[in-house]
Amino acid sequence: MSGGTGAVSGPLPGLRPAVSAPELDSGAGTATHVWPLVSFLEFGALPTAAGCARLHTKNVLLEWKLHAVVEDAELLVSELVTNALQASWSRDDRPPVTLRLLANRERLLIEVWDRSPVEPLACEADLSSEDGRGLGIVAALSDRWSFRRVSSSLKVVWCELVIPRSQPGGGWLRSPSGPQLGSTV
């Protein structure tokens, strides 16, 4: 799983590396889905991590020719990673967070893994507040979102974007020479 635009580190405990296995309670639902395009990258709990995650997402999705979802995906990743970082900063050991992107013909699944025991809570932010809008933005931009707890101290917050059938650039599966799976990162 290397190449292209990013580095790959070992998965978090509980992070299933088999991308064609059922994604129980994740964005894929309980059905088995094949994710031919996968990227995951671990970020230290640093103030620059959200920007790096956004840039990684943009580059990966452009490589995968998923132009139609790049802007929304960047914003979703920014919100999810920022929330995960804030959860990490509340811990003394400041554990890393992991971003995983999965795509097939129909959808893009964005997962952000963190080691916080605190569950994400969507709340209505005061109009003058600078905080509290993240999960509201995620709910508004994504086709669906949720989270699941893998263990008492490991959770994944995910959201899903449907890939338009007639996206600009023809999509990652279309090429003059026939089907193309693209690269995995």
Grade residue 6 by pLDDT with cuts at 50, 70 and 90.
Answer: very low
Instruction: Give per-residue pLDDT as tens, 62-90.
Output: 999 999 999 999 999 999 999 999 988 88
CA 184/CA 64 separation, integer angstroms:
9
Q: Which CATH architecture has domain 37-116+132-162?
A: 2-Layer Sandwich (3.30)
Q: What is the identity of the amino acid at 86?
A: Q
- Strands (E) across 29-143 are located at 37-43, 97-103, 107-114
User: What share of residues in the chain are helix, strand, coil (percent, to 5)?
Assistant: 25, 25, 50
Global pTM reads 0.72
* Residue 32: burial class (beta carbons within 10 Å; 0-12, 13-18, 19+): exposed
The amino acid present at 179, given as its one-letter code, is P
**Strand-pair partners of 101:** 39, 110
Rounded Cα distance between 109 and 97, Å, is: 17
Where in the chain are the domains?
37-116+132-162
Q: Tens of pLDDT along 117-132?
A: 887 765 555 445 445 5
